[in-house]
Structure 1
């Protein structure tokens, strides 16, 4: 990924305390996300990151990794999740290992705010109308950039509340580009959006047809 040098597997192990379950913040079809501390800033403070570890045994996971790297490698926008680095290596058992490291979003996903887990013992969180409108605008700005202003047009294909992440200031960032399609100039959109993966997206969120 241009501008994103690769990181060693051992560094991610250290950052996430051995991919400890206590650092697990989410899990999807193609990967699990862990909170970690990576690197040291000039002020001596370690930066918080989210490490998405691909489940390479899952069919389509490698394609998901490639699609996400391809979609994010040249994109820069305040409402997209920022990629810190990536890892393509071998784990301590000799198996292939792939991960993408993102800037950590301390306020979690929009889904967590709209549909909080009743079993969590955390304080009740509430989004008033103004915050909801601001989040909608942030997502709209991200989509406009992806479709119209990015170096190459990108279709996300899996936009849902769990893929909208909130930073410390409650600014929304669109993430998870594992099903994204990059539109090649001069090629029909319908053709470029067709994939061997068949149905793309999440039932209830994907466009019909």
Structure 2
């Protein structure tokens, strides 16, 4: 894809890329919606439901319009439906490992997969997009992980854990072109909206 992967944008330095890449809050929100739509299709609209099993930033590709596409179905699994049209866990002859930090905990205890595993992956992906931190970040030790790190930060501290690039997003750059008398008011309104939406997105995963 012309704009690489979400991984390239969230962690450009890790790829040896010196180019400055920034995703605005709105771009991140649109990517999150694109990925959610892809999972909705895989789980509920395919003739045979598909569980991806390894959803992570490097498997989310961005096209020329920054539309997100879920890729790499190397360890995906097909599911059967019950007569009530609900999903059944599907046993696999090989263990599903996924990627450390993203794989659902139950995958380490059994060889059964379900759509719930993808939803867990999606929650971790969403938190990584909001904070700019990997689930394997060195600060996450003992009982601290990305999930409870964000849960504790709900309410007043949510801006403190948000990716600092939010402060330099494209919407703010556009505000810089307006008259000084209106600039502070617009910036305060933008920060309030980002705080509100970030708070709501974190609540989804907790």
Q: Which bracket does the TM-score occupy, shorter chain normalised?
A: 0.3 to 0.5
TM-score (norm 1): 0.46
Name the structure where strand makes up a greater proportion of residues: 1
Name the structure where helix makes up a greater proportion of residues: 2
TM-score (norm 2): 0.46
Which structure's CA Rg is the greater one?
2
